[in-house]
């Protein structure tokens, strides 16, 4: 049931800014791409600004803002784009709008990540909406730069957090509040995905799927692998389908598992369609992530596809699984408990069915149709506030002069 | 220190002061504007919500006792002074205790009158479905608008506490903005794509 119907909006010109490169797939990039698509489907005009190298094939609406360089930031390596040339590109994009008409709304993603979004916020004179994705730990660098960004942050008319966890991070680190609008998923794409016979389990040989980078410890592959022997002791036919990039890990794992190695199949990187097929085919989807997750979009995708989710009991996962009503939770980082949970589920088809039934209903709240309406309601309120006093006088005066890089006086 | 050096120091201090004042004035102005604008947007949604509530009460789908109470709460909220004059629109000290109490009262009454998720579903599918949808729409937007408004107020208050803003009296006679505190929690079943 959906109550917040879209009122007859006029068509908006929306500029979306993504700080991370489209060269490498990632949650924020997918979100921006899907949001752009959903907004277009609702009849709005969209232009996306994102870092990308020239040879990457981009969806038509995306403007490439130049190559992203891998830089160490906040404890890991991020592909970001910055510098004076980029600032100029951002300014040109903002000035260009869509077809020569200025944007009605500029929607920035992760404005606190030192990349395109931060630069766009710095220079934007349009009404700004910002979405915060991560539950990020406060960095010392950000504290140094904070007085510089704080003024820009005041330009944000509406803040969105993608989850309760992301919102809490925001409240703790930046102060102020945000409305929670979850990440969207095209649930129908997953629900209607075909199965692959070779990935579909049988009662004697159930299949368990894992998705995520293999070489990133916090994705928790190690936890799953430690649970493998126990699971195989009870259900010898079980097959583990491990999808995700990460060089060199596969060989290492085969050595580690010895006799059990043949039960673990490495699929490598998968396409979107293959991912949907995998989630639709597998009996169980295991999400053993040990931390750093603010939402858990794959869990929603798995639920939409009809596989039963077994996830670590991170705060974000608890919420995305409706406190364990839409999927099973195990103690974070505890392979023994993971094995017990998996074995209980494999033995109890009634419980699997009840999880599936609840999940099918529950995921509707993450469907793009509803999520887009909520985002449009935010745009609506932002514009209402902007129009209420005839927009920004300073902006109109500034309009007589060329926009300076730096935006603020 | 010679006189010319002194003059240079004084000039430097003046320049820094001037720069701070200019930046401060710009920030204060922008934030005041934001506070006023977001308050107008919030007010508009609350007015919409109250008028939808009156429509709902008149639709005959609620029981008579609930209908009377909802209508009463809605009229109390709209009598408590929605923004009408331009001068009132630019005030920024919240919505006033009477209005906030009345809006919270309307929220409580509506929640009670609409009942649990099942009852709300029945209302949505019933003859007054359009009205309930409109009500939910305005209600959700009001919760958004209040968050954004309070956010703007918090920022404005922070900037107005800066020493140079106080020293140069950059906020002028504008009263200190106040957040709008009221109960606007949507019933679970009316949450967007919930239920």
Of residues A36 and A23, more confidently modeled: A36
**Contact at 8 Å (CB) between B100 and B181?**
yes
Supply angle C-alpha A259, A260, A263, rounded to 5. Answer: 135
**Contact at 8 Å (CB) between A181 and A371?**
yes
The answer to whether the Cα torsion of A206, A211, A215, A218 is positive or negative is negative
Q: Any chain A CB within 8 A of the CB of B110? A: no
Q: What is the domain range of residue B160?
A: 10-32+45-190
Interface of A with B (CB under 8 A): 1-5, 7, 151, 154-155, 157-159, 175-179, 364-365, 367, 369-371, 373-374, 377-378, 380-382, 384-386, 388-389, 392-394, 408-409
Residue A178's Cβ-count burial label (10 Å; 0-12, 13-18, 19+) is buried
pLDDT score recorded for residue A172? 80
Name which of A180-189, A225-234, A251-260, A340-349 the model is least confident about: A251-260
**Contact at 8 Å (CB) between A170 and A158?**
no
Domain identity same for A392 and A259: no
CATH of the domain at A286: 3.40.50.2000
| A157: chain B residues, CB-CB within 8 Å | 34, 38, 148
d(CA B135, CA A138): 40
* DSSP single-letter state for residue A234: H
B195 within some domain: no
Domain identity same for A312 and A354: yes
Q: Which 3 state secondary structure label does DSSP give A125?
A: coil
pLDDT score recorded for residue B127? 87
**CB within 8 Å: B37 and A389:** yes
Give B181→chain A minimum CA distance, Å: 14
A381 within some domain: yes
How many domains does one find in chain B? 1
Residue A148's Cβ-count burial label (10 Å; 0-12, 13-18, 19+) is exposed
**CB within 8 Å: A388 and B141:** no
ipTM of the predicted structure?
A: 0.79
Domain identity same for A339 and A358: yes
- Chain-centroid distance of CA B117 in Å reads 27
d(CA B91, CA B85): 10
Domain identity same for A204 and A288: yes
Q: Any chain A CB within 8 A of the CB of B143? A: yes
Query: What single string gives the DSSP state of each residue in A251-262?
Result: HHHHHHHGGGGG
- Cross-strand pairs, A78: A71
How many domains does one find in chain A? 2
Joined together, the tokens standing for residue B193 give: 């794509």
Q: Which of B23, B144, B189 sits opposite A381 (nearest CB)?
A: B144
| φ/ψ of residue A405, rounded to 5 | -65, 125
Give B40→chain A minimum CA distance, Å: 7
Domain identity same for A177 and A207: no
d(CA A26, CA A61): 18
Among the listed residues A153, A347, A293, the one whose alpha carbon sits nearest the alpha carbon of residue B154: A153
Q: Which 3 state secondary structure label does DSSP give A101?
A: strand
Domain identity same for A120 and A156: yes
A5 within some domain: no
Most confident segment among A149-158, A294-303, B83-92: A294-303
Domain identity same for A131 and A81: yes
**CB within 8 Å: B145 and A381:** yes
End-to-end CA distance of chain A: 48
| B36: chain A residues, CB-CB within 8 Å | 388-389
B126 within some domain: yes
A407 within some domain: no
- pLDDT category at A6 given cuts 50, 70, 90 is very low
* DSSP single-letter state for residue A11: P
The dihedral over CA atoms of A50, A56, A58, A62, expressed in degrees to the nearest 10, equals 20
**Contact at 8 Å (CB) between A290 and A223?**
yes
d(CA B160, CA B154): 10
Domain identity same for A70 and A154: yes
Residue A383's Cβ-count burial label (10 Å; 0-12, 13-18, 19+) is buried
**CB within 8 Å: B141 and A394:** no
The pLDDT tens digits along chain B (195 residues) read 788 889 999 999 999 989 988 888 888 888 888 888 888 889 989 999 999 999 999 988 888 888 999 999 999 888 876 665 666 666 767 788 888 999 999 999 999 988 888 888 888 888 888 899 999 999 999 999 999 999 999 989 999 998 888 888 888 888 888 899 999 998 888 877 543
B4 within some domain: no
**CB within 8 Å: B193 and A4:** yes
B130 within some domain: yes
A/B interface, count of CB pairs below 8 Å: 113
pLDDT at A402 over 60: no
**CB within 8 Å: A385 and B145:** yes
Joined together, the tokens standing for residue A208 give: 């368990």
Domain identity same for A138 and A220: no
**CB within 8 Å: B41 and A371:** no
- pLDDT category at A135 given cuts 50, 70, 90 is low
CA within 13 Å, CB half, B132: 28
pTM of the model: 0.81
H/E stretch holding B67 reads helix B64-79
Q: Is A349 left (phi over 0), alpha (psi -120 to 50) or beta?
A: alpha
Domain identity same for A197 and A217: yes
Buried b (16+ CB within 10 A) or exposed e, B122-132: ebbeeebeebb
Please state, in angstroms and as integers, the Cα–Cα distance from residue A83 to each residue in A24, A54, A87, A110, following that order: 20, 18, 6, 18
Q: What is the domain range of residue A318?
A: 187-365
Interhelix angle B129-160/A368-388, nearest 10 degrees: 60
**CB within 8 Å: B144 and A384:** no
d(CA A180, CA B4): 59
**Contact at 8 Å (CB) between A162 and A132?**
yes
**CB within 8 Å: A177 and B192:** no
d(CA A372, CA A299): 20
The residue among A157, A161, A381 with the most chain B CBs within 10 A of its CB, best to mutate, is A381
| φ/ψ of residue A63, rounded to 5 | -95, 125
Residues 6+ apart with CB under 8 A from B90: A389, B36
pLDDT at A4 over 70: no
Closest chain B residue by Cα to residue A177: B151
d(CA B157, CA B154): 5
A101 within some domain: yes
A319 within some domain: yes
d(CA A382, CA B55): 27
A71 within some domain: yes
Of residues A74 and B91, more confidently modeled: B91
**CB within 8 Å: B41 and A178:** no
pLDDT score recorded for residue B193? 59
Quick count: other Cβ atoms within 10 Å of Cβ A236? 11
The dihedral over CA atoms of B34, B35, B37, B38, expressed in degrees to the nearest 10, equals 100
Give A119→chain B minimum CA distance, Å: 19
């Amino acid at each position: 049931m959906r109550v917040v119907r879209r009122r007859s909006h006029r068509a908006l010109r929306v500029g979306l800014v993504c700080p991370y490169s489209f060269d490498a797939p990632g949650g924020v990039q997918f979100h921006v791409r899907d949001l752009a698509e959903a907004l277009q489907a609702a009849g709005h005009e969209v232009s996306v600004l994102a870092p990308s190298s020239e040879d990457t094939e981009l969806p038509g609406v995306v403007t490439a803002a130049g190559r992203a360089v891998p830089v160490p930031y906040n404890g890991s390596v991020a592909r970001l784009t910055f510098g004076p040339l980029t600032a100029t590109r951002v300014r040109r994009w903002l000035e260009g709008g869509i077809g020569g008409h200025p944007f009605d709304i500029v929607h920035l993603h992760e404005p606190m990540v030192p990349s395109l979004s931060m630069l766009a916020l710095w220079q934007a004179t349009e009404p700004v909406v910002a979405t915060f994705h991560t539950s990020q730990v406060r960095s010392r660098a950000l504290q140094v730069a904070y007085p510089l960004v704080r003024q820009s942050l005041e330009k944000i008319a509406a803040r969105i957090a993608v989850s309760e966890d992301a919102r809490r991070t925001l409240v703790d680190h930046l102060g102020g509040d945000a409305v929670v609008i979850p990440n969207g998923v095209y649930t129908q794409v997953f629900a209607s995905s075909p199965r692959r016979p070779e990935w579909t389990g049988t009662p004697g040989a159930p299949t368990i799927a894992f998705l995520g980078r293999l070489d990133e410890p916090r994705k928790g592959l190690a936890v799953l692998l430690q649970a493998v022997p126990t699971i195989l002791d009870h259900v010898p036919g079980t097959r583990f389908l491990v999808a995700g990039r990460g060089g060199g890990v596969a060989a290492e794992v085969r050595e580690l598992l010895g006799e059990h190695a043949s039960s673990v199949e490495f699929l490598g990187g998968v396409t979107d369609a293959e991912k949907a097929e995998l989630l639709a085919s597998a009996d169980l989807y295991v999400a053993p992530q040990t931390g750093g997750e603010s939402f858990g979009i794959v869990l929603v995708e798995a639920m939409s596809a009809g596989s039963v989710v077994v996830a670590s009991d991170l705060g974000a996962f608890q919420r995305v699984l409706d406190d364990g009503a839409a999927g099973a939770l195990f103690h974070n980082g505890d392979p023994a408990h993971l094995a017990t949970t998996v074995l209980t589920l494999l033995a109890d088809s009634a419980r699997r069915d009840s999880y599936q039934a609840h999940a099918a209903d529950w995921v509707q709240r993450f469907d793009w149709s509803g999520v887009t309406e909520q985002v449009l309601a935010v745009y609506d309120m932002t514009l209402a506030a902007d129009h209420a006093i005839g927009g920004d006088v300073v902006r109109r005066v500034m309009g007589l002069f060329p926009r300076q890089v730096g935006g603020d006086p | 220190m010679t006189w010319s050096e002194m003059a240079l120091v004084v000039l430097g201090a003046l320049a820094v002061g001037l720069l701070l004042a200019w930046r401060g004035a710009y920030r204060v102005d922008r934030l005041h504007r934001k506070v006023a604008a977001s308050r107008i947007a919030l007010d508009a949604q609350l007015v919409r919500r109250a008028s939808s509530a009156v429509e709902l009460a008149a639709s005959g789908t609620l029981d008579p006792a609930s209908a009377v109470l909802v209508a009463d709460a809605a009229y109390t909220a709209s009598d408590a002074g929605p923004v009408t004059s331009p001068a009132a629109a630019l005030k920024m000290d919240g919505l006033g205790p009477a209005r906030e109490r009345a809006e919270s009262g309307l929220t409580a009454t509506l929640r009670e009158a609409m009942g649990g998720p099942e009852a709300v579903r029945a209302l949505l599918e019933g003859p007054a479905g359009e009205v309930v949808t409109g009500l939910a729409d305005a209600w959700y937007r009001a919760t958004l608008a209040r968050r954004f408004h309070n956010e703007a107020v918090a920022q404005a208050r922070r900037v107005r506490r800066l020493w140079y803003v106080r020293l140069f009296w950059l906020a002028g006679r504008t009263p200190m903005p106040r957040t709008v505190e009221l109960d606007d929690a949507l019933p679970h079943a009316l949450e967007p794509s919930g239920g």
